[in-house]
Amino acid sequence: MKKVRKAVFPVGGLGTRFLPATKAMPKEMLPVVDKPLIQYAVDEAREAGIEQMIFVTGRGKSAIEDHFDISYELETTLSERGKSLDAIEGTRFAPGEIIYVRQQDPIGLGHAIWCARHIVGDEPFAIFLPDELMVGSPGCMKQMVEAYDKVGGNIVCGYEVPETETHKYGIITPGKVDGPLVEVKALVEKPVQGTAPSNLMIPGRYILQPEVMRILETQARGAGNEIQLTDAMAQMIGTQPFHAYAFGGQRFDCGDKAGFITANISLALERPDMAPTIREYLKGV
């Protein structure tokens, strides 16, 4: 069983739900407190032992590349002023640790993942959707990798939502349950209210076998006239081990404005340097 060494970050989307903020800035660079969303995902990947980050970008995403590049002017200025570089330490990569691939035509998550096929090669790989902010200790992907090391195959994150919200998400049809590991019998995309097979939805964390790339290569367009990753994963169920890992931490949908604001408030309240001020303000409101 091969180790999970690579991770794909599909960051080529237009971020239309956050216009006009995202007209000139990638949505992945929107800050939660003082760190952009993409940085949270990268930090989670590093904690999980991921060695190579593959960013599938598009036009107008150069700010992401700049963020993970050396900034000579900034670093020189900070050093001359006697200030620490610790705040930007997590933005540095050694040569070969980060690779950028261009998705020229944004036609779905499945297509974005397929664009990284030559770099992924014949290895299992992780997928991070950066606008899904997963908060836990240890991180969500580290927990998933530890589970993968035991059972192999394919693992998606599972997250419990109220039954009244299951119609908004891809939902897991569960099989055998072994602690946080749940056998996946099927995947149902946005089931009609009251018909969901469980309340386990799939947020943006996956560990998949490379065979999914072969499926995506000939995959027809699905919902939204896009190439859907969920459709490809559904074809792998029954041919390879497939589990969900029930994550017990917090999840914030930062692709949604309310979710983004909630994430900022929640994480600010965890910060000793600002929590008293934020808490006092919220009491006043």
What are 135-180's pLDDT values in tens digits? 999 999 999 999 999 999 999 999 999 988 888 888 899 999 999 9
Q: What is the mean pLDDT of residues 105-123?
A: 89
Burial of residue 210 (number of CB atoms within 10 Å: 0-12, 13-18, 19+): middle
Instruction: Give pLDDT tens digits for 181-235.
Output: 999 999 888 888 888 899 999 999 999 999 999 998 877 666 665 778 888 898 8
Ordered structural domains, the chain, with CATH: 6-284 (3.90.550.10)
pLDDT of amino acid 222: 61
- Tell which residue, 86, 116, 120, 84, has the closest CA to residue 103: 116
In terms of residues, how long is the chain?
285
Does pTM surpass 0.85? Answer: yes
Burial of residue 182 (number of CB atoms within 10 Å: 0-12, 13-18, 19+): buried
DSSP 137: S
Q: Find the Cα–Cα–Cα–Cα dihedral 15, 20, 23, 25, rounded to 10°.
A: -80
- Tell which residue, 21, 20, 107, has the closest CA to residue 29: 21
